[in-house]
Amino acid sequence: MTELEFRIDDVVAEPYAAAPMLTARLQIAETTGATVHAIALRSVVRIEPQKRGYADDETAGLVDQFGTRERWSQTLKPFQWMQCSTTVQGFTDLTLTDLPMPVTYDFEVAASKYLHSLGEEGEVPLNFLFSGTVFTRGSNGFGVEQVPWHLEANYRMPVEVWHTCMQLHFPNAGWLRLDRDTLAELGQYKAGHGLTTWDEVMTTLMAAAKERSR
């Protein structure tokens, strides 16, 4: 039986990816001396928001997810960010590999909303839970083992990494998903008022709403 240990050395934003992508630099050690031919590796990545502090300006953005600060002792719980996978090439003792982490700026996704609410400073506590299949040398050729479910690795990702990734793909912009009927009505409003961009549509509507509320 193999004995594996996992460690995250870094998480970086990929500057040339076609879609928003982070990469975890993953170190894998095999401690029994067995030769690993390959690993079909999977990971569930969780955010552990209770393991960091929050500035006052971040608190306002987190009310929608966790309620007011007085409730955080009950509501600030770990939640899943993503599932990702990779194939690890054969090695003995130790190897370094990249774990691709596709991300989204969709604010309907809890993790995106959470990360957007954070300032430029600080870190995001991450927990990587590993599973998958290990291929080794067996008595009749290849042996097959499962990656034990208890194997995991923690990493504190700088918030700046997330902001850098989003800035690469959505420079000075955000992303909202709208109902098709809502988008159609906004399109009619845009055409009817001679507006050229969706940003103008939103700023015009917000200005009108502020004027009515006075």
d(CA 113, CA 123) in angstroms, rounded, equals 16
12 within 8 A of 22, measured Cβ to Cβ: yes
pLDDT value of residue 196: 83
96 has a pLDDT exceeding 90 = yes
How confident is the model over 125-130, as a mean pLDDT?
97
Selected residue with higher pLDDT from 33 and 153? 153
1 has a pLDDT exceeding 90 = no
pLDDT value of residue 210: 83
| Mean pLDDT for all residues in the chain | 89
Residue position matching structure tokens 């460690």? 7
Among residues 50, 75, 15, the alpha carbon closest in space to that of 126 is found at 50
Give the confidence band of 173 by pLDDT, cuts at 50, 70, 90.
low
Among residues 154, 162, 92, the alpha carbon closest in space to that of 128 is found at 154
d(CA 162, CA 198) in angstroms, rounded, equals 25
CA end-to-end span of the chain, whole Å?
Answer: 71
pLDDT value of residue 130: 97
pLDDT value of residue 205: 87
> Longest C-alpha distance within the chain, in Å?
80
